[in-house]
Amino acid sequence: MALLQISEPGQSAAPHQHRLAVGIDLGTTNSLVATVRSGVSSVLLDAHGHALLPSVVRYLPNGNIDVGYDAQSAQSIDPQNTIVSVKRFMGRGLKDIEVSNQPYHFAERADQTQANMLQIETRAGIKSPVEISAEILKTLKIRAENTLGGELVGAVITVPAYFDEAQRQATKDAARIAGINVLRLLNEPTAAAVAYGLDNASEGIYVIYDLGGGTFDVSILKLSKGVFEVLATNGDSALGGDDFDRRIFCWVLEQCKCKPVNAQDTRTLLTKAREAKEWLTDHANAQITSILSTDEVVNLSLSTQQFNELTQNLVAKTLIPIKKALRDAQLCIDDINGVVMVGGATRMPQIRLAVTDFFKQAPLTNLDPDKVVALGAAIQANTLAGNKSDKDLLLLDVIPLSLGLETMGGLVEKIIPRNSTLPIARAQEFTTFKDGQTAMSIHVLQGERELVTDCRSLAQFELRGIPPMVAGAARIRVTFTVDADGLLSVSARETTSNIETNIVVKPSYGLSEEEILDMLKNSFNAAETDKKARALAEAKLEAQSLLLAIDAALGKDSNLLNQKEMQTIAAQMNALRSLLDKDSEAAVEVIHSATEQLNIATESFAAKRMDASVSHALAGKNIDAVNL
Amino acid sequence: MNENYFALFGLDPAFNIDLTTLEDRFRKIQSESHPDRFVSGTNAEKLQSMQTATTANEAYATLKNPAQRAAYLLGLQGINALAETNTTMPASFLMQQMEWREALEDAKHARNTDMLEKLLIEMRLETKSLQSDLAHLFDKKKDLATASEATRKLIFIDKVITDINKAIEILET
């Protein structure tokens, strides 16, 4: 198709159709969507002009679902059905979180053989964090499609660099349920580096300090000629601005000697705490006033100094991952050209001060720390969708945590070390320890510690169908592959007999394929019919434009073809034309394949036209004028 | 891809290599073959891209690290530096090994980060001198037997450095 649209030299063809792609920052506190238009990355606004979408989902009594500001304003009156900071639960089990701190009713999974991601009981039924996140993503998708006036080709969704496999998979599953084609999962600090680096044409070694609502990431990148190479990353996937709110909240309870408060008062006081934190960014004192449901009155004044003291160990906690990342990258503070601040929580003066002290230089704060991640993700989405001519942008990211296998005695043997550049594949050989053994169990773990119990269990694999042999004779080669999204896949082969063994994967956290399909079915039953109609319309459009292009080409250059070639092309064109009035479901496939056939049939014609047009352009010019 | 890692980056197999050239060529290969370039490609293209990018990453990581580069060079000559039959070390080095290990244990018990940092500097100096030995042994004298021994030393020292870093990490947390 593209080959047939040759235009005369100096006359450009119709502009290449812009493919709609967006970057989504699915944040703990707020989420955003951005896109590149006319070469500029910008955040898309909702109907009220808001860029941020609070990552809050409320299940209403009438069966509706609110996402964003409306849900946020109801969080104190309806805490059990209004889920905030759901990102903290992604890919997590009940034992990973402090249940007592949460206003929600957590549901035990009835079926213990299933993966054990936690679930929340709401009035709309039991919801997994994946489904709740999907609601946020759906809202952003609708915002983007309404603003841009078309269906999205896909999206780049950002995740904290320090997210493990289960958390990444959960994010990808949420996108799938929301009907979004994920072009890539991109690490938040890397996205920020892209936005910052391209904006400032920076070269050198940069540290991205990303303190979000619920996660902390630090990445060290080398920026050079459009290549963004992550040298090391580290972080804490359970440390963020929320924790600063919680310190204030605990201080309030301590000061007013309140009894343990109910869910509603917890939510109210946490909101007051957040407001106080934000106020203290450019004020010396914050007033916290509230009347609890028990009629107790809270009226306290919090000074900047008190706030700094309350939170100094949280601030110090962010320096530990920085030191680790520097060591892994074998760099010292003098090597760092700049420190970029990302995430709303980096507005706190004590954070900026600590970073300045540590790096002996003031951090870079000229981009909006709330938007920079989404802006960078949009740039990457645009490149991946194939819109950008600037092919120089390349991101080389790393795996944040080591992958290993359980060995004898409950120890972990590392297979892929942390900070390895992605994609990566490593193979490990195993053998049988019993005569005639035909199956083997393999346990994959993620983390830096030596004991299985200290690492995160990712999955248990069962290798079946090993040909029976004497003990130690079978050679099973298990290959672990981590793709550019940071997601793991495993394959196994018995090498002496070359038999591909069967792998049964049981993810330790996450949803089973059936669960995802179920959720997809529920959310798309209605949309399905529309989708089919659209696919048919698109197939017809594509066929028609190909027919038009060939007609035009034949009109000009039919002299390049012999009789037989002409006949073949004409016959194929007629065949395709006759399909265009078909409306059945199967027509989509038939039209596609006939279009493809015609494309193939005209390939050599296109090549001849290309040759002819090149020699035509060269003829009549003297050699000096032709710059190749 | 059966090419050896040096050939992949257009380099002659040697211990002393130009790291800037290595980095530039690695980036060039990734610019052309990274999976990001084939997000809307066919499955065959995606698979090919995955394989090329994976090999390039593995090759780059191997050649960038002096100990791994040395072991890889020996491997090209059919020598497995880490094979169990190949673990003989001179007594003087064994003594030194024990001293380093003891120093590490002492510093760990004393929870003394400064001592660990000092040990780290000492190990890094040791690494530097072994690397210049290796350049001479591989590239000038072509003495693979001695190079193999020096490679084992370097790998051992890398392990100690990893352990020191781990100890510092634990003390910091």
Give the residue carrying structure tokens 């393999």: A442
End-to-end CA distance of chain A: 25
Cα radius of gyration (chain B): 19
Rounded distance between C-alpha atoms, residue A176 and residue A164, angstroms? 19
Give the pLDDT of chain B (173 residues) as one tens digit per residue.
457 999 999 999 999 999 999 999 999 999 999 999 998 888 889 989 999 999 999 999 999 999 999 999 999 999 988 776 666 778 888 888 889 999 999 999 999 999 999 999 999 999 999 999 999 999 999 999 999 999 999 999 999 999 999 899 888 87
**Residue with token string 């193939």:** A600
B35 → closest Cβ in A227, A327, A484: A484
- From the CA of A222, how many Å to the nearest CA of chain B? 12
Per-residue pLDDT tens for A194-249? Answer: 999 877 788 999 999 999 999 999 999 999 988 999 999 999 988 999 999 999 99
Name which of A566, A563, A570, A567 is nearest A547 in CA terms: A570
Percentage of chain A beyond pLDDT 90 is 50
Bridge partners, A446 (sequence order)? A403, A456
Helices (H), A435-506: none
CA distance A316 to A314: 5
Picking from B19, B39, B124, B173 by the largest number of A CB atoms within 10 A of its own CB, the best residue to mutate is B39
Chain A positions touching B58 (Cβ under 8 A) are: 424-425
Give me the sign of the Cα torsion angle A480, A485, A487, A492.
negative
pLDDT given for residue A16 in this prediction: 55
**How far apart are the C-alpha atoms of A425 and B35, rounded to whole Å?**
14
d(CA A218, CA A226): 21
* pLDDT tens, position by position, B125-166: 999 999 999 999 999 999 999 999 999 999 999 999 999 998
Contacts 24+ apart (CB under 8 A), A118-124: A118/A89, A118/A92, A118/A93, A118/A94, A120/A83, A120/A89, A121/A80, A122/A59, A122/A80, A122/A81, A122/A83, A123/A59, A123/A61, A123/A80, A123/A81, A124/A59, A124/A63, A124/A65, A124/A81
> In this complex, is the C-beta atom of B31 within 8 Å of any C-beta atom belonging to chain A?
yes
Q: Which of the following is catalytic: A66, A131, A173, A188?
A: A188
Q: Report residue A341 CA to chain centroid gap.
A: 20
The span from the CA of A628 to the CA of A286, in Å, is 68
pLDDT grade for A109, boundaries at 50, 70 and 90: low
Identify which of B70, B89, B38 has the alpha carbon closest to the alpha carbon of residue B138. Answer: B70
Residue A139 near residue A62 (C-beta atoms within 8 A): no
Q: Catalytic residue at A210?
A: yes
Q: What pLDDT sits at residue A186?
A: 97
CA A384 to chain centre: 13
User: 10 Å Cβ neighbour count for B135?
Assistant: 17
Q: What is the pLDDT of residue A616?
A: 53
- A485 has a pLDDT exceeding 80: yes
Chain A residues touching residue B35 (CB < 8 angstroms) = 423, 483-484
Q: Please report which confidence band the pLDDT of residue A563 belongs to, taking 50, 70 and 90 as the band edges.
A: confident
Find chain B residues with C-beta within 8 A of A384's C-beta: 36, 39-40
**Window from A280-284, A573-577, B69-73, B124-128 with minimum mean pLDDT:** A573-577
Name A591's Cβ contacts closer than 8 Å, sequence gap at least 6: A536, A539, A540, A542, A543, A576, A579, A580, A582
pLDDT of residue A495: 81
Cross-chain Cβ contact A394/B61 below 8 Å: no
List, in sequence order, the alpha helices (H) in A237-392.
241-255, 263-279, 304-328, 349-359, 372-384
Q: Are strands A338-342 and A204-211 parallel, antiparallel or unpaired?
A: parallel
Give me A96's structure tokens.
Answer: 């990973």
Give the mean model confidence (pLDDT) for residues A104-111: 73
**With pLDDT > 70 as the criterion, what percentage of chain A qualifies?**
88
pLDDT > 80? residue A617: no
pLDDT at A510: 64
3-state SS, A550-565, equals HHHHHHHHHHHCCHHH
| Residue A504: Cβ within 10 Å count | 12
What's the whole-number mean pLDDT along residues A526-551? 74
The Cα A562–Cα A479 span in angstroms is: 53
A493-498 mean pLDDT = 78
pLDDT tens sequence across A110-153: 554 445 788 999 999 999 999 999 999 999 999 999 999 999 99
Coil, strand or helix at A482: strand
Average pLDDT, chain A: 86
Dist CA A389 CA A16 (whole Å): 11
Greatest alpha-carbon span in chain B: 59
Q: How far is A63 from chain B (nearest CA, A)?
A: 38
- How far apart (Å, rounded) are the C-alpha atoms in residues A291 and A295? 6
Amino acid (1-letter code) at residue B15: F
- Look at strands A394-396 and A56-59 and give their pairing: unpaired
- The answer, for B65 touching chain A at a CB cutoff of 8 Å, is no
Respond yes or no on whether the N-terminal peptide bond of residue A61 is cis (omega within 30° of 0): no
Integer Cα distance of A352 and A315 in angstroms: 10
**Per-residue pLDDT band at A11 (split at 50, 70, 90):** very low
Is A188 one of the annotated active-site residues of the chain?
yes
Q: Could you give the ipTM of this predicted complex?
A: 0.91
Interior/surface letters A299-320, b for 16+ CB within 10 angstroms, e for the rest: ebebebebbbeebeebbeebeb
Residue A10 to residue A500: CA distance in whole angstroms = 56
User: What's the CA gap between A248 and A261, in Å, rounded?
Assistant: 15
**Strand A285-291 relative to strand A297-303: parallel, antiparallel, unpaired?**
antiparallel
Round to whole Å and give the CA distance between A351 and A301.
21
List the single residue in B35, B40, B61 with the smallest CB-CB distance to A420.
Answer: B61
* Residue A621 confidence (pLDDT): 45
Chain B interface includes A425 (CB < 8 A)? yes
- pLDDT beyond 50 at A487: yes
Per-residue pLDDT band for A506 (boundaries 50, 70, 90) equals low
CB A567 within 8 A of CB A599: no
A13: pLDDT confidence band, cut at 50, 70 and 90? very low
| Confidence tier at A504 by pLDDT (50, 70, 90) | low
Query: A422–B57: do the CB atoms touch at under 8 Å?
Result: yes
- pLDDT above 50: residue A7: no
Closest in A320, A385, A483 to B173, CB measured: A320
What does the pLDDT read at residue A544? 82
Mean of pLDDT values over A438-444: 86
Whether residue B57 and residue A391 make contact (CB cut-off 8 A), yes or no, is: no
Question: Which of A204-218, A415-429, A456-470 bottoms out in mean pLDDT, i.e. has the lowest?
Answer: A456-470
Please work out, in degrees rounded to the nearest 5, the angle formed at the alpha carbon of residue A90 by the alpha carbons of A460 and A121: 105
How many whole angstroms separate alpha carbon A333 and alpha carbon A361?
Answer: 10
Query: From the CB of residue A623, how many other CB atoms can be counted at a distance below 10 Å?
Result: 6
**For residue A69, pLDDT beyond 90:** yes
What are the backbone dihedrals phi and psi of residue A238, each rounded to the nearest 5 degrees, phi first?
A: -135, 50
- Residue A578's pLDDT band (cuts 50, 70, 90): confident
* Angle of the B43-64 helix axis to the B19-33 helix axis, nearest 10: 170
Tell me whether B20 touches chain A (CB under 8 Å): no
In the sheet where A394-396 sits, what is the strand order?
A338-342, A204-211, A216-224, A227-236, A394-396
Look-up: residue for tokens 């006939």? A594
pLDDT band at A528 (very low <50, low <70, confident <90, very high): low
Q: What is the pLDDT of residues A330-386, one digit of tens each?
A: 999 999 999 999 999 999 999 999 999 999 999 999 899 999 999 999 999 999 998
B106 inside 8 A of chain A by CB: no
The pLDDT assigned to A93 comes to 86
Least confidently predicted of A5-9, A179-183, A540-544, B149-153:
A5-9
How far apart are the C-alpha atoms of A361 and A297, rounded to whole Å? 44
